[in-house]
Structures are given as structure tokens and as C-alpha cells.
Amino acid sequence: MDKQEIQLRASKIKLLILDVDGVMTDGSIILDNQGNELKRFNVRDGHGIKMLNRAGIVTAIITGRKSLVVEHRAKELGIVDVHQKVFKKSEVYEGLLKKYNCTDENAAFMGDDVVDQELLKRAGLSAAPSDAHEMASKLADIVMERAGGRGAVREFTDLILQHSGLWEKVSGESLG
């Protein structure tokens, strides 16, 4: 996709929807001896989400697994729409579009695996981390240079902010 098409699509984004494992994290699940689940999130990814929110773009999570860690991280980032243990992501996606009065062209989505294929195709702007499953990479509008949990979300949020003209509003710096 060329830069002009990315700018056009990014300028229409009002809602970013993220998968968790393999997108917000590197996909690893760490279990301790007591059965507690641990995940590692990237601080810069989190800052990108907060900048989007300051720019007026809503962020939501749709993930197939359920984890208290995800709830805690979402709360830290101010993400109120957290949908876990979702097997049919398109149903939740539809609900989010209605809730925020959006169409497909107003939604951005980042996913990394075959369960994300419908949203990767539908969203107005879709992305996959560099280490995503091959099918997700083929369906995404953009494949990030960074891997899941290693800055891919920040790369995508920066792209949305920069190409939609909102970068200066949230960063205070010109890119020109």
C-alpha cells in the first residue's frame, strides 16, 4: 500500500482494536509455580496507546484468551473496552462499531494469527507484527518492522497519528 493510501485511510481512523498475545505481547505465556500467569508488555506500545487516546482515538481489545494480567494492563492504559475469551471476534467488532458510531473505514485493527483474518480484511486500516503468522501478514494492509510485544503496536500508533495529522497534537513536535 502506498503512502498516499495509508494517509487517506489513517485520516479516517476513530477506533483502534488490538489483539493481545503476539501483538501487545511477544506471545509468550509465563506460568509460575502457583499457576499465576505473567505477560510482558512493551512500555512504548503503552505510550503509543495513551497518545492515541489523547488524540481522541479510542482503543479496544479483543482477544481469544482470558487473563487478569490483560485486565490490569488495559486499566493502566485507560482501555475500557476489553473483550476476552472471544472466539468470534467479528461479533464484538460489530458491537464496537455501533458503540462508537463507526464504519469499517473508521476502524484500525492489529492481529497476528488466523483467528484475526476477518478483522484484518474488514478494518479500514489493518496491520500485523513482523513475526505474525503468514496468513495474517498476507491479509494485513501493513506489516510492521517490529515484532509483537517488541514495539509493533507503537509503530502502528505512530503511523496512525503521523498520517492523520494528529502527531503534533499529542507529541508537541513537528515531523517536517
Is 173 a residue whose pLDDT tops 80?
Answer: no
**How far, in Å, CA of 130 to CA of 15, rounded?**
22
Helix (H) or strand (E) holding 82: strand 81-83
Got the DSSP string for 110-164?
Answer: E--SGGGHHHHHHSSEEEE-TTS-HHHHHHSSEE-SSPTTTTHHHHHHHHHHHHT
Q: Where are the domains positioned within the chain?
A: 3-165
Domain spanning 3-165: which CATH class is it, in words?
alpha beta
- Residue 127: count of CB within 10 angstroms of its CB: 28
Q: How far apart are CA 83 and CA 98, in angstroms?
A: 15
For the chain, how big is the Rg over CA atoms in Å? 15
Q: What is the pLDDT of residues 59-94, one digit of tens each?
A: 999 999 999 999 999 999 999 999 999 999 999 999
Question: If residue 17 lies in a helix (H) or strand (E), which one and from where to where?
Answer: strand 15-18
pLDDT tens-digit readout, 115-165:
999 999 999 999 999 999 999 999 999 999 999 999 999 999 999 999 988
pLDDT range class, residue 170, cuts 50, 70, 90: confident
